Amino acid sequence: MSTSNGNPDTRSLKRNPPKLIEMRIRRRDNPDSPAYWQEFTIPYRPNLNIISCLMEIQKDPVAKDGQRTTPVAWSMSCLEQVCGTCTMIVNGKVRQSCSALIDQLDQPITLEPMTKFPTVRDLIVDRTRMFDHLKQIKAWIDIDGTHDLGPGPKMTQDEVAERYAYSRCMTCGCCLEACPQYDDNQFIGPQAIAQVRYMNMHPTGVMSRDERLEGIMGDNGIQNCGDAQNCVRVCPMSIPLTKAIYEENRETIIHGLFGWLKR
């Protein structure tokens, strides 16, 4: 509401103060520095997500107490819940911050980095260990592309549907954050096991089947799964992680008992 000269009506603003978004962010300046909490407020607008709020703070990084500070650091890429880069803990739950809408969250909104990976700065973590586990299970299909292999073997619709579900994994790390066994490299994690299932179901990928099974049979392998089933509850893509763990547990037992016959 404005006065006749175009200036804001201060009496109206006092009666109806603008709505603010309150955020508490767990920050860390570098990997070796202590973590601390810092609070921010930004003007409310409908349909904002967490990333939009962080971008607003980045424009003018002033804390709630008026102290000027450094911009909050976070990771993002696609902003469409496809890449998994912006995963963090929002109000105590691990999820993608790009799909976390302010209108659906309780305030004050708390943001924390994932706890199962080393913190680089603020909300950015180093997920190298997760990708190392994908290397451990050889999460790729060996095709050199030098010649035409011709049409591949046919797959049933049920097999295609199951493989498609596993293909939706975006290595966001939600399942690993929620898994009580994924800590200090004691467990390879559900996402790597699901990729073993995904690759081994491929008619060409089956050529490296035994190598992948042995990749999840080591000291940090599938036997360390505690069957908490937290992984399937937090997966944003609804991947059937528990089914993959069940199937690969069965396959590793068979491989452990009879794999020597192939040598």
SS (H, E, C) the chain: CECCCCCECHHHHHHCCCCEEEEEEEECCCCCCCCEEEEEEEECCCCCEHHHHHHHHHHCCECCCCCECCCCCCCCCCCCCCCCCCEEEECCEEEEHHHCEHHHCCCCEEEECCCCCCEEECCEECCHHHHHHHHHCCCCCCCCCCCCCCCCCCCCHHHHHHHHHHHCCCCCCHHHHHCCCCCCCCCCCHHHHHHHHHHHCCCCHHHHHHHHHHHCCCCCCHHHCCCCCHHHHHCCCCCCHHHHHHHHHHHHHHHHHHHHHHC
Distances (CA, A) of 197 to 118, 173, 245: 28, 18, 8
Q: Mean pLDDT throughout 148-157?
A: 82
pLDDT band at residue 13, thresholds of 50, 70 and 90? very low
What is the distance between the alpha carbons of residues 164 and 14, in angstroms, rounded to a whole number?
55
**Average pLDDT of the segment spanning 166-181:** 96
More confident call, 204 vs 90: 90
Q: Is the pLDDT of residue 17 over 80?
A: no
pLDDT tens digits for 194-249?
999 999 998 888 888 999 999 999 999 999 999 999 999 999 999 999 999 999 99
Section 118-139 average pLDDT? 96
169 C-beta neighbours (distance < 10 Å), count: 22
- Looking up tokens 């070796």, which residue turns up? 32
Question: What is the predicted pLDDT for the residue at 64?
Answer: 96
- Asked, for residue 169, whether it belongs to a domain, the answer is yes
Name which residue leads in pLDDT, 151 or 176: 176
Give the residue numbers spanning the domain of 82.
Answer: 10-125
Q: Are 169 and 239 in contact (CB under 8 A)?
A: yes
How confident is the model at residue 260, as a pLDDT?
66
Same-domain check for residues 199 and 170: yes
How would residue 2 be classed by pLDDT, with cut points 50, 70 and 90?
A: very low
- Span 242-261, average pLDDT: 90
* Number of domains, the chain: 2
d(CA 126, CA 14): 46
Q: Are residues 107 and 137 in the same domain?
A: no
How much is the pLDDT for 114? 98
Q: Report the C-alpha gap between 258 and 124 in whole angstroms.
A: 44
Q: Where residue 138 sits, what CATH number does that domain have?
A: 1.10.1060.10
Residue type, 194: A
Mean pLDDT of the chain: 90
Confidence of residue 98 (pLDDT cuts 50, 70, 90): very high
Does residue 103 fall inside a structural domain? yes
- Does residue 2 lie in a domain region? no
Average pLDDT over residues 97-110: 95
**Residue 130 pLDDT greater than 50, yes or no:** yes
Listed residues 68, 103, 125: the one ending a domain: 125
Q: Which of 125, 142, 162 is the last residue of a domain?
A: 125
Select from 163, 167, 179, 183 the least CA-distant residue to 233: 179
Domain presence at residue 5: no
159 and 250 assigned to the same domain? yes
How far, in Å, CA of 198 to CA of 134, rounded?
Answer: 12
Q: How many residues does the chain have?
A: 263
Residues 137 and 115 in one domain: no
Residue 227 located in a structural domain? yes
